[in-house]
Amino acid sequence: MKRYLFLLLLSLPAMISAQTIFDRPLSDRITGYDITSILDPVRHTVTGEMTAWWVNKSDKPVNDAMLHMYLNAFSSNKSSFASDGQWSPAGDEGWGYVMIKSIVDGHANDLKNAMRFVSPDDGNIYDRTVLQITLPVPVMPGDTLKLRIVYESKLPSPIIRTGYNEDFYFIGQWFPKFGVYETAGMRQREADGWNCHQFHPHSEFYSDYSVYNVSVTMPVEFVVSSGGILIEETDNGDSTKTIKWRAEDIVDFAWTAWPGYQVAKKKWRGVDITLLTSEKGFKVADNQFTAAINALEYLDARVGPYPWPHLTVVDPPVTGSGAGGMEYTTLFTSAGGGMVPSFLKMSESVTVHEFGHAYFMGILASNEFEEPWLDEGVNSYWEQRIVDASYGDGYGCFNLPFLKLSDSDQGRTSYISNPSKQSATNDLPSWMYPHDTYDMMSYSKTAVWLHTLEGLIGTQTMDNIFREYYRRWAFRHPSGRDFIAVVNDVVKNELGDRYGENMNWYFDQVLYGNEICDYRLSGIKNHKIRSYSGIVDGDSVTFKRSDRSGDTTYLSTVSIERAGGIMLPVKVLVHFDNGDEKTEEWDGKARYKDFEYTGTRQVTWAKIDPFDEIDLDVNRINNSWTENPRFTAARRMTDKFVYLMQMMISILTI
Amino acid sequence: MWIITLVMIMLVALPLKSSFKSVFDHSMAMEKLSGGFDAGLAGDMGKSFGQLMSSASTGGLLLVMAGFLLYTFFAGGLFTRFTTAWGGLKPTAFMKASTQNFVPFLKIALLMCLIIFFYTSLIIGLPAGIMLAVSEGSIPQTGLMIIFYVIWVLGLPVWLSVADYSRRWIAATGSRLAFRALGAGFRALGKRFWLSYFTVLVILILNVMFVCGSMWFTAWSVPQKGLMIFLFFLATQLLFLVRLFMKAWRYATVSQLAAGLKV
Ligand SMILES: [Zn+2]
């Protein structure tokens, strides 16, 4: 009885607050959206009404509001998104748009004539992805702006993150959405103002933490899920159903609908994980769960807790592949489950990556438009750590007896083999990277210099940096400078001034600079020290060393060069013929450096960066030098090539 | 035959090996490859990796073409040996027969390759293409494709038997007319179809199993020490010799069948 009463008492608050997820908000909740909508699978539209609200947290009145109208990126071939040819519609049906049919503020003022499209990034007059509304009544500090909007969203096809293909729907960036009103000091900003960028082919998003109450009516045959939790599902009796979701403290709300989805569920600690996938993907559902849980456990232990009680993983079918590999915090899309051979951990690494964004974007909501490295790069670094730790003994991509590849090397290779790696610095806004370098710079290069930083300061300090980054910035909007400040504080705290006053010298080179890193072991020399002989002051001198000792002495020199512009402290492991080893440290600043040893031993080999910690080094082959190189691998590969050719000839000749 | 093939391939493989070695020079990085190829090193090899890959594939293509001619040439001697001189053929006579048969054998080989190519596109390419079109770009159902692969393998002995019967006919008659030989080949197959078919099918299946098994062994074994690599080399060469004998075995069997048929 007592026990029963206790349980009742425990569940009472839960029953009362059944409509909310968290008792206490995780974030400021500056914005919120109550949306009712109808999915029309014939016209491929989502239409309805929404109330959007925004709180003025600044200390001055605000006279305008700025909204993202993302779907208008698909409304013409001259939008900034479509004009570079990355997307074109599948026929006339394929265009997408978001249209405001009516809009009033909380004072019942009609704002329809106060709206205008602006293009703050590139001045493109054809771009209609940013809407500015001049408010007749300014929003006073602490006041809330309420907008009641009747809207129609036409989904694009083909899908690029969002859209439809046949009866598959992925609905993201689909409603008019507030930009972020930044106050002075926030992200090193000088004056208050809206941060609301256009939708570019290479840009992601930036939004405030919100509460979402979303209701969608659609034909009953659709299987659906979203980034929220299910509040209610009603059968309307007319072969439609209405679903109500609620989400809290997330920065974006997306949902998906497809009659063919198979659903699997799993629980990890307090988190209900739901997987929506195709028949093929369902067969390997466990792989997706395992990948997601690997990532949950890894980040939970090293960065901070995943606070939501729900997580939805969508592994879209082939028809919906355009929606694959995208993140919406509590919902993300993977790709290719059951479609690739099981030794390739491709689908798993996409799952790990997209889940990782729940932290780097979801919890730590940096500005993806302006500093893409801070979400994509940081997240790629963690993805590579998780994938390599979870699969293939450190070779996370694949590990066959004759061929292996680690996920971090996969990223590093795409950086070092890119001929344009010096064309830009790493701090450009996402749409400004030249010569198709956005992917390489935002993802690969950043991950490479984060691995290098980990190599310098150690994994423990690195993890503590991210723990502190989480502690200071969770559910806020950190900038790159804020991240660097955390690095400086933690490094100073744990390692003193081993790396100087702060780590700015590092970020100035790797993030704000465009030089490359390449240290080279140019050679080893062992010279016999000769006996002393010659004419000194007119007298002939001969002095045989062997008179003193039976051993020959050598002057050994290990020569190192800095071939790249980046300067990092490096370690050099020197090996002598008697088995001795010595680790040298060098600040890596001069153009060259010689290490000299005198004695009876000779240097046989030496390695710069012996534990491969400097991922930034663009050529690791020139990092070592040995008297006796071993070419056994070359011999084995030659033998295999010979046999392969023999077989090819004998097969192809009938 | 084995030694000529080996020398021919070595002519391509050894320069490849030395340019591969020169990329590493005095570096110790190749030690990272001792337990299988670490693809992460490909980026460090920079441009030379791409160059090596392209010269390996060009070299491979040239080798296959040269090998095709060489093997067609030797098939001439082999069929003569299996047809007229079971006790053995003097090397000079073998070479003479090879030379005589070369042109018609080459024609037959090329024609049969063409036929097998069309046959493959019909049995494998067409269904795969249709399925790809129907499913709008999704990967074809592997389950359904397996049926077509099986059909393909089951049909293959027909073409191989015809090729062998035709070549045997040339060896037996001394004629140099490739098209007539093909006709004779088809007739011979028609006479004792099921016997020829199943004999060649069995030999084919054994050959395929052997090739797959030996390729699997070669790909999967990663010897790391000098002596082991030498033993590995010997093993692969031994496997290749067995493969050559297995191929000659098919020629001999079909020749014997033909002798029994008196064609
Ligand atoms: Zn990402």
Q: Residue B29 falls within a domain, yes or no?
A: no
How far apart, in Å, are the Cα atoms of A364 and each of A67, A109, A161, A210? 22, 36, 21, 14
B204: closest CA of chain A, how far (Å)? 11
Coil/strand/helix, residue A118: coil
Question: What residues of A are in contact with residue B239 (Cβ under 8 Å)?
Answer: 643
A53: closest CA of chain B, how far (Å)? 43
Confidence of residue B171 (pLDDT cuts 50, 70, 90): confident
Sign of CA dihedral B79, B80, B82, B83: positive
Q: Which residue of A has its CA nearest to B39?
A: A405
Q: How many CA atoms lie within 13 A of A638 on its CB side?
A: 22
- Evaluate if residue A557 carries a pLDDT over 90: yes
Q: How far apart are CA A135 and CA A65, in angstroms?
A: 7
pLDDT for position A14: 40
Point out the residue among A405, A618, A639 whose CB comes nearest to the CB of B39: A405
* B142 close contact with A: CB closer than 8 A: no
- Evaluate if residue B11 carries a pLDDT over 70: yes
Q: How far apart are CA A316 and CA A61, in angstroms?
A: 45
Q: Which residue has the tokens 């993140």?
A: A327
Burial class (CB within 10 angstroms; exposed 0-12, middle 13-18, buried 19+) of B251: buried
DSSP states along A531-596: PEEEEETTEEEEE-GGGT-SS--EEEEEEEEE-SS----EEEEEEETTS-EEEEEE---SSEEEEE
Mean pLDDT, residues A349-357: 97
Q: Residue B22 falls within a domain, yes or no?
A: no
Tokens representing residue B186 in the block: 């088809």
* A341 close contact with B: CB closer than 8 A: no
Query: Is residue A163 a contact partner of residue A322, using CB atoms and an 8 Å limit?
Result: yes
**What letter represents residue A260's amino acid?**
G
Length, in residues, of chain A: 654
Residues of chain A numbered 258-287 and touching chain B (CB < 8 Å)? none
Contact A405 B38 (CB under 8 A): yes
Q: For the segment A488-520, what is each residue's pLDDT rounded down to a tens digit?
A: 999 999 999 999 999 999 999 999 999 999 999
**Helix, strand, coil in percent for chain B, rounding step 5:** 85, 0, 15
In chain A, the domains with their CATH numbers are 1-258 (2.60.40.1730), 407-510 (no CATH), 519-629 (2.60.40)
CB count, 10 Å around CB of A463?
A: 16
Give the distance (Å) from ligand 1 centre to CA of residue A526: 51
Peptide bond into A158 cis (omega under 30): yes
Tokens representing residue B234 in the block: 């010997």
Contact B43 A416 (CB under 8 A): yes
pLDDT for position A340: 85
Give the distance (Å) from ligand 1 centre to CA of residue A291: 16
Q: Residue B15 falls within a domain, yes or no?
A: no
Average pLDDT, chain B: 84
Q: How far apart are CA A215 and CA A253, in angstroms?
A: 12
Mean pLDDT, residues B108-130: 86
φ/ψ region of A34 (left if φ > 0, alpha if ψ in -120 to 50, else beta) reads: beta
pLDDT for position A544: 58
Give the distance (Å) from ligand 1 centre to CA of residue A518: 28
Residues of chain B numbered 152-171 and touching chain A (CB < 8 Å)? 159-160, 163
B236: closest CA of chain A, how far (Å)? 6
Confidence of residue A287 (pLDDT cuts 50, 70, 90): very high
A620: closest CA of chain B, how far (Å)? 6
Tokens representing residue A165 in the block: 């293909």
Q: Which residue of A has its CA nearest to B69?
A: A653
Q: Residue B14 falls within a domain, yes or no?
A: no
pLDDT for position B163: 86
Give the distance (Å) from ligand 1 centre to CA of residue A408: 15
* A654 close contact with B: CB closer than 8 A: yes
Average pLDDT, chain A: 93
- Evaluate if residue A13 carries a pLDDT over 80: no
Confidence of residue B135 (pLDDT cuts 50, 70, 90): low
Mean pLDDT, residues B148-163: 86
Contact B27 A629 (CB under 8 A): yes
Q: For the segment A202-218, what is each residue's pLDDT rounded down to a tens digit?
A: 999 999 999 999 999 99
Q: How far apart are CA A613 and CA A408, in angstroms?
A: 12
Mean pLDDT, residues B16-22: 88
- Evaluate if residue B262 carries a pLDDT over 80: no
Beta bridge partners of A583: A573
B74: closest CA of chain A, how far (Å)? 11
Give the distance (Å) from ligand 1 centre to CA of residue A367: 13
Domain carrying residue B119: 49-258
- Evaluate if residue A548 carries a pLDDT over 60: no
Residues of chain B numbered 168-207 and touching chain A (CB < 8 Å)? none
Contact B116 A652 (CB under 8 A): no
Give the distance (Å) from ligand 1 centre to CA of residue A440: 12
How far apart, in Å, are the Cα atoms of B148 and each of A229, A339, B161? 47, 20, 21
More confident residue, B143 or A163: A163
Contact A629 B25 (CB under 8 A): yes
Q: How far apart are CA A51 and CA A35, in angstroms?
A: 7
pLDDT for position B153: 84
Q: How far apart are CA A319 and CA A329, in angstroms?
A: 23
Confidence of residue B142 (pLDDT cuts 50, 70, 90): low
Q: For the segment A41-73, what is each residue's pLDDT rounded down to a tens digit?
A: 999 999 999 999 999 999 999 999 999 999 999
Q: Lowest-pLDDT range, A363-367, A409-413, A439-443, B24-28?
A: B24-28
Q: Which residue of B has its CA nearest to A652?
A: B68
Question: What residues of A are in contact with residue B237 (Cβ under 8 Å)?
Answer: 643
pLDDT for position A371: 97
pLDDT for position B78: 84
Hey, of A157, A395, A630, A654, which one would you mutate to test binding to chain B, going by the most B CBs within 10 A of its CB?
Answer: A654
Q: Lowest-pLDDT range, A95-109, A118-132, B82-96?
A: B82-96
Coil/strand/helix, residue A95: coil
Q: How far apart are CA A52 and CA A213, in angstroms?
A: 11
Q: For the segment A339-352, what is each residue's pLDDT rounded down to a tens digit?
A: 888 889 999 999 99
Counted across chains A and B, CB pairs separated by less than 8 A come out at: 200
Coil/strand/helix, residue B260: helix
For residue A387, give the H/E element and its range: helix A378-390
- Evaluate if residue A9 carries a pLDDT over 60: no
Hey, of A525, A625, A636, which one would you mutate to test binding to chain B, going by the most B CBs within 10 A of its CB?
Answer: A636
pLDDT for position A85: 81
Tokens representing residue A234 in the block: 């009603």
Q: How far apart are CA A520 and CA A498, in angstroms?
A: 24
* B143 close contact with A: CB closer than 8 A: no
- Evaluate if residue A610 carries a pLDDT over 60: yes
Confidence of residue B182 (pLDDT cuts 50, 70, 90): confident
Domains: count for chain B: 1
Q: Residue B10 falls within a domain, yes or no?
A: no
Q: Lowest-pLDDT range, A126-135, A366-375, A586-595, B149-158?
A: B149-158
* A413 close contact with B: CB closer than 8 A: yes
Mean pLDDT, residues A104-113: 95
φ/ψ region of B262 (left if φ > 0, alpha if ψ in -120 to 50, else beta) reads: left
Query: Is residue A623 a contact partner of residue A519, using CB atoms and an 8 Å limit?
Result: yes
More confident residue, A631 or A36: A36
Beta bridge partners of A584: A572
Confidence of residue A549 (pLDDT cuts 50, 70, 90): low
Q: How far apart are CA A232 and CA A519, in angstroms?
A: 61
Coil/strand/helix, residue A403: strand
Query: Is residue A152 a contact partner of residue A98, using CB atoms and an 8 Å limit?
Result: yes
**What letter represents residue A558's amino acid?**
V
Q: For the segment A625-646, what is each residue's pLDDT rounded down to a tens digit?
A: 998 888 888 889 899 999 999 8
Sign of CA dihedral A649, B1, B2, B7: negative
Confidence of residue A3 (pLDDT cuts 50, 70, 90): very low
CB count, 10 Å around CB of A629?
A: 18
CB count, 10 Å around CB of A654?
A: 23
**What letter represents residue A651's amino acid?**
I
Question: What residues of B are in contact with residue A605 (Cβ under 8 Å)?
Answer: 28
Mean pLDDT, residues A220-243: 96
Give the list of residues 6+ apart from residue A195 with CB closer than 8 angstroms, or none. Answer: A179, A180, A181, A182, A206, A367, A369, A370
Mean pLDDT, residues B193-204: 86
Tokens representing residue A385 in the block: 């750590």
Contact A650 B226 (CB under 8 A): no
- Evaluate if residue B160 carries a pLDDT over 90: no
pLDDT for position B129: 79
- Evaluate if residue A290 carries a pLDDT over 90: yes
Q: Residue B3 falls within a domain, yes or no?
A: no
Report the DSSP pairing between strands A310-315 and A331-333: parallel
Tokens representing residue A366 in the block: 């940096």
Confidence of residue B98 (pLDDT cuts 50, 70, 90): confident
Q: How far apart are CA A258 and CA A261, in angstroms?
A: 6
Sign of CA dihedral B145, B148, B150, B152: negative
**What letter represents residue B234's amino acid?**
L
**What letter represents residue A321's amino acid?**
S
B166: closest CA of chain A, how far (Å)? 12
Confidence of residue B261 (pLDDT cuts 50, 70, 90): low
- Evaluate if residue A581 carries a pLDDT over 70: yes
B93: closest CA of chain A, how far (Å)? 23
Q: Lowest-pLDDT range, A406-420, A577-591, B73-87, B217-231?
A: B73-87
Contact A648 B46 (CB under 8 A): no
pLDDT for position B141: 59
Contact A647 B240 (CB under 8 A): yes
Q: How far apart are CA B76 and CA B166, in angstroms?
A: 12
